[in-house]
Structure 1
Amino acid sequence: MNKCHICSKEFSKKSNLTVHMTIHTGEKPFKCDTCDKAVRTSYELTVHKRNHSGEKPYSCDTCEKTFSQQSNLVLHKRIHTGEKPYCCDKCEKTFSQQSSLNLHKRIHTGEKQFKCDLCEKTFSQQSHLIHHKRIPTGEKPYSCEICKKSFTKSSDLSRHEKSVRHLKQLESVKNSVPPSTSTSFVDCCEANTKLEIKEEETLDEDPLSIKMEAESVEVIIKEEIKEEEGIESEEFF
């Protein structure tokens, strides 16, 4: 048996022990010839190179979505099967991913390792901290390709795209575009949302807009607090 002299972990093959040792040494002998990124194993390098080539050799036999890694395909398939093999030993809540369980456990431990450098508010997840920092800047990096509405969180964009209103708007636009028209699909979408955009512009010109924006920020903060208290969303696409 091949045993690590640092952490005492044992391996059946010496080659596996050799790879394991790079965790302790920090050695990354395999280097990408495109971006110079270095990784520990030849397999990691193969997977990384698919980011450049766009290769996704693993395909879901249910919805035909493709992935660059087999592990991602395994996780994705649990969306269809509903399988959640990872269970919390405190409240018995189950998850499809080990990483999601690890994040969930912080609710019980109270661990909040991510801290805002502006207001010192702490969060259990880095993504929550990133969302929090967008409040004062007003940054909304996630935009709907159909109606151009933008969102602070990717989950908000996904919720918008799945909304009944959005789907009805999409269907309406498809039905309203004649095959011979020169008007683009996006232009028609923008025309359908003209009233909504106009309302937003009117709100910006309202003298009370600053007060309303402050109230909006307060709502966002309350939503983040609710998330921190255990309201989690788990998606893997």
Structure 2
Amino acid sequence: MLLDVVLTTSALTSQAISGKTLVAIDILRASSTIVTALANGCRAVIPVLTPEEAFELKKRDPDVILGGERKGLRIPGFDKGNSPLEYMSSDIVGRRLVLTTTNGTRLIRKGQEADTLLVGSLLNAQAVAREVLKLKRDTLLACAGTLDRFSLDDFVGAGSIVREIVRFSPDVSLSDIALAAMKVSASGDPVLSLKESFHVRKLMELGFAQDLDYCSRLNLYGVVPRLTEKGIECLEKV
């Protein structure tokens, strides 16, 4: 089994994902929001590209929750933003969440042709690692990046998942970039690593310091979100 990492959504190609498991990673904040919502009882997350697509789904099913952001802030007319802390309330239990974000949902939609698409974050790194090993195929950890640029927070997240996989199965093969991600993630406190990134500075300016602390928590949940025909569902809990 080979583990590899791609650094941005724009670098993800159909050839790269063919026949592989894809782990979609957008630490700040779409991946963390999806993991949190499913861990707290959300039935499924439907990733869409635009607010217009989300509003159309709301017309068809008024019970869905609209969540997402543009420039880090809640989209006008939406029920919730992209802070994972908004997805711990009882109003999401048993309901579907239609989510659109600047980076993360675009990555998921682009990677949907992978044999299996999982959503990974620091919050569920160990659970995702176990599922990757269970699937027994080459795996690509895809970082969303920020506006198609390298983002340190996603790189740390990918490295943390690689580190968990290697801990369970030391004989897996790593590409050089997967090895580099693992070493960066192991070099210190994830919160400190994330605080040094450009993306984090922007979120801090918008008042989302609590999101940073929350999204940096390692292995908080044992959920493994997987893309299905019904959306992203929590098919595994470990």
Query: RCO greater where, 1 or 2, for CA within 8 Å and sep 6 or more?
Result: 2
TM over 0.5: no
Q: Which has the larger radius of gyration?
A: 1
Normalised to the residue count of structure 1, the TM-score between the two structures is 0.23
Task: Determine which structure has the larger helix proportion and give its number.
Answer: 1
Normalised to the residue count of structure 2, the TM-score between the two structures is 0.23
